[in-house]
């Protein structure tokens, strides 16, 4: 039966990877394989285990208890993401992100490359790499008119956003998973991964700045009169970003799960949004012909834009991986892997390269079940870096890359020829920097 479960997971995994070719939303195979895997475990009364990280062994458990345990851990991540997504949508409701365009004054292509790369690096650490990519490419389309030039900028934004998301507990879903799963703490994650992430950004952007495409100046576009500035846009931008940054601080102070702090931040941002919007809400009846800002609150409007398919995908894939973990398959696989390849650095580097081809969410979820090291063990920080930045090597290797591909119609092979090698040298440079910091500075 275990063979059938593994086959189901591999089949579902392939369906997720080939989402664009099959034209089937990845949430469908994720939910299907999760339900079927747990059904086989239940119907055949297969023994389930909980990994004891302190004793580094498997402890027998009951299916109801272990499923509820994994559902609780998954729910923590989902509720956290819902809060963060809603805050971002509230900022967008007030057109707050367009405030960033005011910081862009130069016409130099090289100058714009550095501005957008730095903004992507910093923004992705706060609002996650996917959202940062969407925001910056939207602004990029208003600044750089020629598509042939713009797709180069978009490619480097993907690299920069993935680099920025790797060192922040709220910058990438995989680092959020490690943080909520008590594998890393905020201060140690930043201490270990920030400098390697900066190197991962600096190398490709520095090399790219010498390429012919980034020489000269851009044509200055006319002001887009369709953009309506909201007088509270800048205020909501700074308030929303500050509220998200506050979450790790709240967790450090209270030792409560991160989603509690995110809900507090959401409540604060939503309160100011309601005050600023002055919306008149009538629950019993809505005038359809009225403007949306008059008939619905910012919170209602923002919640309606949340990507529920992504939320359901996370639910399916995380519980599917937890089925393999509960059977002890990941734990046993890790032992065999460590005996075959004793050097964990090599194993994690392969994980980073694999994340360019395979979705990094299940990869990291699997690694959390494979390794039983304690909190803030260097391997978790290396996994955060590798899984976060390795996806930049292919346009389909990260959520940021996929959304850039869709927004700018970037060809897979164009990215492979033009951007992949830049992402690769950045990944290698950051990886070696991490090992240097770990072995020389932190082990003194």
Indicate the domain borders of the chain: 47-441
Distance CA 383, CA 401 (A): 19
Return the pLDDT at 297: 81
CA distances in angstroms from 199 to 22, 160, 358, listed in the order given:
37, 10, 24
CA 180 to chain centre: 14
What are the pLDDT digits (tens) for 340-360? 877 888 888 888 888 887 767
pLDDT tier for residue 290 given thresholds of 50, 70 and 90: very low
CA angle 291, 292, 297 (to 5 degrees): 135
What SS3 string covers 105-121? CCCEHHHHHHHHHHHHH
Find the DSSP H helices in 288-398.
Answer: 292-295, 298-303, 308-326, 329-340, 344-354, 360-370, 378-390
Return the pLDDT at 305: 82
Distance CA 439, CA 444 (A): 8
Report which DSSP code applies to 438: I
The dihedrals phi and psi of 404, each to the nearest 5 degrees, come to -65, -40
Return the pLDDT at 36: 94
Closest to 27 in 3D by CA, of 312, 322, 334, 417: 312
Q: How many CB atoms lie within 10 A of CB 305?
A: 13
Least confident piece of the model among 41-55, 209-223, 280-294, 403-417: 280-294
**Cα end-to-end span (Å), the chain:** 49
**What's the token pair of residue 59?**
């402890």
Q: Is 241 left (phi over 0), alpha (psi -120 to 50) or beta?
A: alpha
Q: Name residue 59's beta-bridge partners.
A: 50
Residue the block writes with tokens 């100046």:
217
Residue the block writes with tokens 């020489």:
215
Least confident piece of the model among 70-74, 264-268, 269-273, 289-293: 289-293
Return the pLDDT at 289: 38
Q: What share of the chain is helix, strand, coil (3-state, %, to 5)?
A: 75, 5, 25
What are the pLDDT digits (tens) for 184-219? 999 999 999 999 999 999 999 999 999 999 988 877
Among 85-94, 197-206, 293-302, 310-319, the range of highest mean pLDDT? 197-206
pLDDT tier for residue 431 given thresholds of 50, 70 and 90: very high
Q: Name residue 58's beta-bridge partners.
A: 51
**What's the token pair of residue 381?**
């920080």
287: Cβ–Cβ under 8 A, 6 or more apart, which residues?
294, 295
Contact yes or no for 235/276 (Cβ under 8 A): yes
| Mean pLDDT computed over 47-63 | 72
CA distances in angstroms from 86 to 45, 187, 313, 359, 437, listed in the order given:
41, 26, 18, 24, 37
CA angle 279, 280, 285 (to 5 degrees): 130
pLDDT tier for residue 55 given thresholds of 50, 70 and 90: very low
What are the pLDDT digits (tens) for 86-145? 888 898 888 887 887 777 777 888 999 999 999 999 999 988 888 888 888 888 888 888
The dihedrals phi and psi of 211, each to the nearest 5 degrees, come to -75, 150
The average confidence (pLDDT) of the chain is 83
Return the pLDDT at 278: 72
Return the pLDDT at 372: 75
User: Quick check: helix, strand or coil at residue 307?
Assistant: coil
Return the pLDDT at 282: 40
Residue 60 host element (H or E): strand 57-61
Strands (E), 249-308: none
Q: By CB neighbour count within 10 A (0-12 exposed, 13-18 middle, 19+ buried), where does 12 fall?
A: buried
How many CA within 13 A on the CB side of residue 279? 24
CB-based burial, 409-424: b 16+ in 10 Å, e otherwise: ebeeeebeebbbebbb
Torsional sign, CA 362, 258, 84, 80: positive
Does the reported pTM lie above 0.85? no
Return the pLDDT at 53: 54
Q: How many CB atoms lie within 10 A of CB 1?
A: 12
46: Cβ–Cβ under 8 A, 6 or more apart, which residues?
1, 2, 40, 327
Return the pLDDT at 198: 96
| Mean pLDDT computed over 212-228 | 69
Closest to 269 in 3D by CA, of 303, 234, 244: 244
Residue 441 host element (H or E): none
Return the pLDDT at 227: 53
């Amino acid at each position: 039966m275990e063979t059938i479960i593994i086959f189901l997971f591999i089949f579902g995994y392939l369906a997720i990877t080939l989402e664009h070719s099959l034209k089937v939303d990845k949430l469908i195979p994720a939910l299907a394989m999760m339900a079927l895997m747990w059904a086989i475990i239940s119907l055949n009364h297969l023994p389930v285990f909980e990994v004891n990280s302190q004793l580094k062994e498997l402890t027998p458990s009951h299916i109801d208890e272990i499923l509820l345990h994994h559902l609780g851990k998954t729910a923590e991540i989902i509720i956290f993401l819902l809060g963060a997504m809603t805050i971002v949508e509230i900022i967008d409701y007030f057109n707050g992100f367009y405030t960033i365009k005011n910081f862009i004054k130069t016409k130099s292509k090289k100058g714009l490359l550095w501005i957008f790369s730095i903004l992507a690096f910093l923004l992705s650490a706060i609002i996650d790499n996917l959202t940062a990519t969407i925001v910056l490419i939207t602004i990029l389309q208003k600044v750089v008119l020629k598509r042939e030039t713009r797709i180069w900028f978009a490619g480097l934004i993907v690299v920069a956003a993935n680099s920025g998301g790797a060192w922040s507990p709220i910058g990438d879903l995989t680092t959020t998973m490690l943080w909520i799963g008590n594998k890393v703490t905020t201060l140690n994650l930043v201490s270990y991964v920030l400098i390697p992430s900066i190197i991962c950004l600096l190398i490709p952007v520095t090399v790219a700045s010498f390429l012919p495409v980034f020489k000269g100046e851009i044509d200055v576009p006319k002001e887009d009169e369709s953009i309506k500035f909201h007088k509270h846009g800048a205020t909501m931008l700074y308030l929303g970003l500050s509220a998200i940054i506050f979450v790790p601080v709240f967790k450090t102070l209270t030792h409560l799960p991160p989603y509690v702090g995110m809900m507090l931040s959401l409540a604060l941002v939503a309160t100011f949004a309601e005050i600023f919007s002055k919306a008149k809400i009538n629950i019993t009846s809505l005038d359809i012909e009225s403007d949306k800002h008059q008939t619905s609150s910012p919170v209602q409007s923002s919640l309606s834009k949340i990507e529920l398919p992504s939320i359901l995908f996370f639910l399916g894939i995380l519980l599917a991986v937890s089925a393999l973990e509960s059977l002890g398959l990941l734990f046993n696989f890790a032992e065999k892997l460590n005996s075959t390849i004793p050097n964990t650095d090599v194993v994690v580097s392969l994980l980073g390269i694999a994340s360019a081809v395979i979705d990094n969410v299940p990869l990291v979820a699997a690694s959390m079940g494979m390794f039983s090291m304690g909190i803030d063990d260097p391997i978790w920080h290396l996994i955060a870096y590798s899984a976060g930045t390795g996806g930049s090597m292919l346009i389909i290797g990260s959520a940021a890359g996929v959304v850039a591909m869709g927004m700018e119609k970037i060809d897979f092979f164009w990215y492979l020829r033009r951007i992949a090698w830049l992402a690769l040298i950045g990944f290698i440079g950051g990886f070696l920097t991490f090992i240097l910091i770990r072995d020389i500075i932190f082990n003194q």
